Structure 1
Amino acid sequence: MFEYFTDRAKQALVLSQDEALTLGHDFIGTEHLLLGLTGTDQSTAGDVLRAQGVELARAREETVRVLEAAGVAATGGQPAKDALSSLGIDIEEVKRQADDSFGAGTFQYPRPAYTSDAKKALEQTLTEARALGRERFGTEHVLLGMLTAGQGRGLEVLAACDVDPGGLREAVLARVAGDAS
């Protein structure tokens, strides 16, 4: 499915993973998708989000606040590392050897998985792109998919940033219609 994403949308998904890892999360939720979209320069979703007042630093702060309020700890994947350690596997040594052999930063563990809410948002991306007559999925479709899915902590982060999902959807669609003209 990812082969249908535009380069900017792929960049947003990579940024989502990077944000999750930076925040110490071993999952990618809709809140991380939102951060990835907001952080993607020269993208439809990023431009619309910033025009709606969503800045990356504030969205990141609100993500941390929302997750902490929900009792979601930033573990940095420590439970998985501990499980492997109990089997005699030293993740730090594996990382060191991978860095030596393949270059710094090539090995990341754990690789965060998408939450069910994020998966649903990404599934809706396809629906949104097709409804707009597109074969490839851009950042705008990812954002519309997240809004259409209607669940996940990304929507809580938007609310904390005083953004109305309905108004955001209208702004994205208006921007897409303007780009098509």
Structure 2
Amino acid sequence: MFEFFTDRARHAVVQSQDEAIALGHDFIGTEHLLLGLVGTDQSTAGDVLREQGVELTRAREETVRILEAAGIAATGGQPAKDALSSLGIDVEEIQRQADNNFGPGAFQYPRPAYTPDAKKALEQTLSEAQALGKDRFGTEHILLGMLAAGEGRGLDVLAALEVDADALREAVLARVTGDAS
């Protein structure tokens, strides 16, 4: 599926993975997808989100607050590391060796998995792009997919930032169709 994404859209998805890792989460939710979109410069979704008042630092703070309120701890993948350690595998030594051989940050473990809500949003991306007559998926389609899926903490972050999801959808559609009305 990712082969159909534009370079900016792929960058946003990678950025969402990086956000999840940086926040110590061993999953990628719609909240991380939102952070990836906001953090992608010169992209339709990023531009529209910023125009709607979504700022990366504040969105990140709201993500942390919402997850903590839901009782979701930032574990940094420690349970998986502990399981491997019980088998005699030193993940930190593997990380050091990879950093030495391939450069800092070359090895991240565990790789965060997508939540069901994030998967649904990414699947909805396809429908949104097709509805607009596109065969490649841009950041705008990811955002539209997230909004159309109607579920996930990314929508909670938007609500906490006082962004109306319907107005955001209209703004994205106006941008991509050239309809400024």
Q: Same fold by TM (over 0.5)?
A: yes
Inter-partner Cα distance in structure 1 for 2:156 and 2:135: 30
Inter-partner Cα distance in structure 1 for 2:34 and 2:160: 13
Report the counterpart of residue 107 of structure 1 in structure 2.
Answer: 107
Which amino acid in structure 1 is aligned with residue 11 of structure 2? Q
TM-score, with structure 1 as normaliser: 0.98
TM-score, with structure 2 as normaliser: 0.98
Query: Could you say what secondary structure the match of 1:97 adopts?
Result: helix
Which amino acid in structure 1 is aligned with residue 35 of structure 2? L
Cα deviations by residue, 1:132-154 (Å, 9 ceiling, x for unpaired): 00000000000000000000000
Inter-partner Cα distance in structure 2 for 1:111 and 1:141: 24
**Please, which runs of 5 or more residues in structure 2 have no aligned partner?**
none
Report the counterpart of residue 5 of structure 1 in structure 2.
Answer: 5
1:88 matches 2:88: yes
Inter-partner Cα distance in structure 1 for 2:19 and 2:100: 25
Matches within 5 A, 1:48-63: 48-63=48-63
Per the TM alignment, residue 101 of structure 1 is displaced from its structure 2 partner at its CA by 1.9
Inter-partner Cα distance in structure 2 for 1:148 and 1:107: 34
Cα deviations by residue, 1:148-174 (Å, 9 ceiling, x for unpaired): 000000000000000011000000000
Matches within 5 A, 1:163-174: 163-174=163-174
Query: Could you say what secondary structure the match of 2:178 adopts?
Result: helix
Report the counterpart of residue 24 of structure 1 in structure 2.
Answer: 24
Query: Could you say what secondary structure the match of 2:168 adopts?
Result: helix
1:162 matches 2:159: no
Extract structure 1 runs of 4+ deviating beyond 6 A. Answer: none
Report the counterpart of residue 75 of structure 1 in structure 2.
Answer: 75
Inter-partner Cα distance in structure 2 for 1:115 and 1:104: 27
1:128 matches 2:128: yes
**Please, which runs of 5 or more residues in structure 1 have no aligned partner?**
none
Identity of aligned residues (%): 81
Per the TM alignment, residue 70 of structure 1 is displaced from its structure 2 partner at its CA by 0.4
Inter-partner Cα distance in structure 1 for 2:98 and 2:23: 23
Provide the alpha-carbon RMSD of the alignment. Answer: 0.8
Give the length in aligned residue pairs.
179
Report the counterpart of residue 139 of structure 1 in structure 2.
Answer: 139
Per the TM alignment, residue 51 of structure 1 is displaced from its structure 2 partner at its CA by 0.4
Report the counterpart of residue 178 of structure 2 in structure 1.
Answer: 178
Which amino acid in structure 1 is aligned with residue 78 of structure 2? Q
Inter-partner Cα distance in structure 2 for 1:61 and 1:94: 31
Per the TM alignment, residue 178 of structure 1 is displaced from its structure 2 partner at its CA by 1.4
Report the counterpart of residue 40 of structure 2 in structure 1.
Answer: 40
Per the TM alignment, residue 105 of structure 1 is displaced from its structure 2 partner at its CA by 1.3
Which amino acid in structure 2 is aligned with residue 76 of structure 1? G
Inter-partner Cα distance in structure 1 for 2:81 and 2:176: 44
Which amino acid in structure 2 is aligned with residue 161 of structure 1? L
Which amino acid in structure 2 is aligned with residue 150 of structure 1? G
